[in-house]
Amino acid sequence: MLEIKNLHARIAEDGTEIIRGLNLTVKAGEVAAIMGPNGSGKSTLSYILSGREDYEVTEGEILYNGENILELEASERAAKGIFLAFQYPVEIPGVATMQFLKVAMNEQRKYRGEDELTTPEFMRRVKEAAAELKIAPEMLRRPLNVGFSGGEKKRAEILQMALLEPKLCVLDETDSGLDIDALKIVADGVNALRSPDRAVIVITHYQRLLDYIVPDTVHVLYKGQVIKSGDKTLAHELEANGYADIIEAAA
Amino acid sequence: MNMQQAIKMTAAETALVDAYTAQIGDLPGDGAVLSVRDTLVHELKTAGLPTRRVESWHYTDLRTLLRAVPAADPSAFAERVEALVSGATVFSVRNGHADFKGNAPEGVTIRSYTDSLLDGSAAAGLAVLGTDDAIGRINGGLVRGGLELSIADGTELEDPLEIQLVQSLGQAHTRFPVSFGANTKATVIERHLSTNAAESLISSVSDITVGEGADITWIILQQQGAADTHLGQIRFDLAADAKLHLFIINAGGKLVRQEIHGKTSGEGADFKLRGINLLGGESHTDVTFTLGHNVPHTTSTEVIRNVVFDRAKGVFQGKILVAKDAQKTDAKMACNTLLLSDDADLSAKPELEIFADDVQCGHGATVADIDHTQLFYLMARGIPENKARAMLVNAFVAEIVEELDDEPLVEALESVISTWLDKHA
């Protein structure tokens, strides 16, 4: 589903190279965890996948279902099924949450040549998905992410993911700022979306989230490269011994 | 040498004076009114239109910007349009001619302003606010019609009153003295529209007094054509415990100056100004505001949001004066701007003049572009860039529309805004 080949990328503004020859393959149905110390390029990778313009790819390619997506706008990538759950969901005063959800769902459908949802159908879907994630209707009446607690923001991200039904989900530090109850709700939400035709990339600092969203593969990112890949035991190893050994071995 | 004779009149000045001369004998008014008119037009002739050297016109050099004045065409026809919100009582003013035969709701008395000119009762109100009151001068010299409304004490109107000014071409000069009695509650929509692309010039002065304990919402919705000149002025005077929520949307016109001049005359008075300026093309739009907090214990807040596209130019001047005796005044003014093109321009000049020592006053101004993080967030959910931008611009202004506690009105105004944005963004 996703193939990243020799990717090099830098911050557009100052030219700082962040990703330095990254290779990664994620198959349909796979849950891949990407771990790594601070500053290793994890969040940058998630932004590059979703098409943020603050980064510039200087070399390599990203193939999504065989198609090079680097020339596509963020909105086109989203409509093709790439979803980024933000580490820091953005507050937008003046945009109603429901209006936002409806526009996002319908714009994606329009892009794919599907009919727009009717309002009753839209309402039904939101209601159902919100109930699963224990999101109160009052929350959906507020402006987008405004006044949401940390946990509410993360749940709102997963709600969007459930409604948009993406094919490739990228979760950027979704566990940060969550207490254990919120973490379980979010993990259940993600697990409910696991399916043979959907891939999930979980970016995280800690093993903790991976107890709830169990990965098929684990990749260690360091200085903009994947320096080691393995199965879920690699995450346990990291938790016990830290990154130092692996970094040394790769050097 | 006489300096006054040294001024060479511009085409626009000549046209305005000629319009007056051509109508002498035909303009409504008794002796007193005609004498005020003569004085005003004489001042216009000798002083000319204001230039940037006049402080309050510094950013809007009317003498340069007003190139021409379209001639009045008495035979021109303008059609009524649907009320902005259903249920509203519409008072139709077409090409400057007021139709006051409609059924006014109970508690509302309506009179033709032309009659007040004819019997002279309008004469005192024609006085200008000061030497640089060019709008008062042009309007006072040439005004032919309008409406006088008086709302009886204790009247609470459920549905809005809409003063609907439709202009097809040429020029029109109108006036609306409105008095709200004690403890009245009402919403008035002053709506300026144009039916076609032909050039027109209008001047319109609303002069309102708000009685004790009254709670009034006044909306000015300016949607004139891209070739039009709009010279608007609203004056207000608030009695004790009176509340006025003035909401102004500029979404049209080529050359627009909307002035707001008010004062608080009774303790407990509260004034709220909310303004949205949607500016595009080559337009020039100036909102100039002065408020005198003249007595103790009065409050005001002013929030102006400007959205500037293309080569448009916006101006906001806001001046709050707190008199020596006006202790415990609480006044806050903010002007926030989204500049959406490199050639867009906005000048903001907030001023406070405070003579009392126990007050809370503040002002702030910001200018920014679309927030890129917000834009990326929306796009990352599949919303194309154009649409995402429009949503963010809309959000920037929608926040203050929602302060209006009237669902149908909020919806109607939001639709005006999104229609404008769809066309310009």
What is the DSSP-derived secondary structure letter of residue B156?
B
Higher local confidence (pLDDT), B160 or A235: B160
In angstroms, the separation between the Cα of residue A239 and the nearest Cα of chain B is 32
Query: Which B-chain residues 78-97 have CB contacts (< 8 A) with chain A?
Result: none
Q: Are B280 and B312 in contact (CB under 8 A)?
A: yes
* Cβ-defined contact of B380 to A79 (cutoff 8 Å): no
What is the per-residue DSSP string for B3-15? GGGGPPPPHHHHH
The number of beta carbons lying within 10 Å of the beta carbon of residue B83 is 17
Instruction: Pick B385's closest partner by Cβ from A50, A75, A94.
Output: A75
Interface of B with A in 180-239 (CB under 8 A): none
Q: If you average pLDDT over residues A168-174, what whole number do you get? A: 93
Taking an 8 Å cut-off on Cβ atoms, the answer to whether B387 and A164 are in contact is no
Radius of gyration of chain A (CA): 18
What pLDDT is attached to residue B102?
67
Q: Are B220 and B246 in contact (CB under 8 A)?
A: yes
Q: Tokens at residue B30, please?
A: 């008794």
Over range A81-108, report the average pLDDT.
95
pLDDT at A74: 97
CA distance A100 to chain B (A): 8
Which of B379, B391, B397 comes nearest A74 by C-beta? B379
Q: Residue A78 and residue B394: Cβ atoms within 8 Å?
A: no
Question: Which residues of B fall within a CB distance of 8 Å from A54?
Answer: 372
Region of poorest pLDDT, from B61-75, B120-134, B144-158: B61-75
* Closest B-chain CA to A170: B380
Q: What is the pLDDT of residue B103?
A: 78
Give the nearest chain B residue to A90 (CA atoms). B374
Any residues with CB less than 8 A from the CB of A140 and at least 6 apart, and which? Answer: A97, A98, A101, A126, A130
Interface of B with A in 281-320 (CB under 8 A): none
Measured in angstroms, the CA of A20 and the nearest CA of chain B are apart by: 24
Nearest to B391 among A51, A53, A95 (CB): A95
Residue-wise pLDDT for B233-249, tens only, equals: 999 999 999 999 999 99
- Coil, strand, or helix at residue B310? coil
Tell whether B396 is within 8 A of chain A (Cβ): yes
pLDDT bucket at A247, cuts 50 / 70 / 90 = confident
Angle between helices B134-142 and B11-23 (to 10 degrees): 30
- Going from the C-alpha of A116 to that of each of A78, A112, A144, B387, B388, the distances in angstroms are 16, 10, 22, 16, 18
Query: Does pLDDT of A167 surpass 60?
Result: yes
Choose the closest CB to A108 out of B374, B382, B396: B382
Chain A CB contacts of B381 below 8 Å: 75, 78, 100, 104, 108, 160, 164
Name the β-bridge partners of B98.
B93
Nearest CA in chain A to B401: A94
More confident residue, A245 or A103: A103
Q: State residue B6's pLDDT score.
A: 53
Radius of gyration, CA atoms only, chain B: 21
Alpha carbons within 13 A on the beta-carbon side of B297: 7
Q: Do B397 and A95 touch (CB under 8 A)?
A: no
Contacting residues of B for A160, CB less than 8 Å apart: 381
Mean pLDDT throughout B85-93?
94
> Domain ranges in chain A?
2-250
* Average pLDDT of chain A, as a whole number: 92
Mean pLDDT (whole number) for B189-213 = 96
- 3-class secondary structure, B215: strand
pTM for this prediction: 0.86
Q: Is the CB of B395 less than 8 angstroms away from the CB of A94? A: yes
> Residue B1: pLDDT band by 50, 70, 90 thresholds?
very low
How many C-beta neighbours within 10 Å does residue B346 have?
22
CATH superfamily of A2-250: P-loop containing nucleotide triphosphate hydrolases (3.40.50.300)
CB spacing of A160 vs B373 below 8 angstroms: no
Q: What is the mean pLDDT of residues B363-377?
A: 94
Q: Would you call B391 and A103 a contact, using CB atoms and an 8 Å cutoff?
A: yes
| d(CA A147, nearest CA chain B) in Å | 15
pLDDT at A124 exceeding the cut of 50? yes
Q: Does B351 touch chain A (CB under 8 A)?
A: no
The arithmetic mean of pLDDT across residues B138-152, rounded, is 96
How near does any CA of chain A get to the CA of B173, in Å?
A: 37
Structure confidence by residue, pLDDT tens digits, B304-361: 999 999 999 999 999 999 999 999 999 999 999 999 999 999 999 999 999 999 999 9
**Tokens 């526009």 found at:** A103
pLDDT of B7 > 90? The answer is no
CB of B384 within 8 Å of any CB in chain A?
A: yes
Best residue in B383, B385, B393, B422 to probe A by mutation, most A CBs within 10 Å?
B383
Tell me the nearest-neighbour CA distance from B345 into chain A, angstroms: 24
pLDDT for B332 equals 96
- Min Cα–Cα distance to chain B from A127, Å: 19
B12-58 pLDDT, tens per residue? Answer: 999 999 999 999 889 999 999 999 999 999 999 999 999 999 999 99
* Chain A with chain B: Cβ pairs closer than 8 A: 76
Kindly state the average pLDDT of the residues A16-21: 93
- State residue B239's pLDDT score: 98
**Which residue, B228, B164, B230, is CA-closest to B196?**
B228
- Measure in Å the smallest separation between the Cα of A214 and chain B Cα atoms: 26
Whether residues B381 and A78 touch (CB distance < 8 A) is answered with yes
- The answer to whether the Cβ–Cβ distance between A95 and B399 falls below 8 Å is no
**pLDDT over 90 (residue B272):** yes
Region B133-154: mean pLDDT is: 97
Q: How much is the pLDDT for B265?
A: 97
Q: What is the pLDDT of residue B5?
A: 52
- Residue in chain B closest to A94 (alpha carbons) equals B395
What is the predicted ipTM?
Answer: 0.96
Residues of chain B numbered 353-382 and touching chain A (CB < 8 Å): 372-374, 376-382
- Which of B376, B394, B399 comes nearest A74 by C-beta? B376
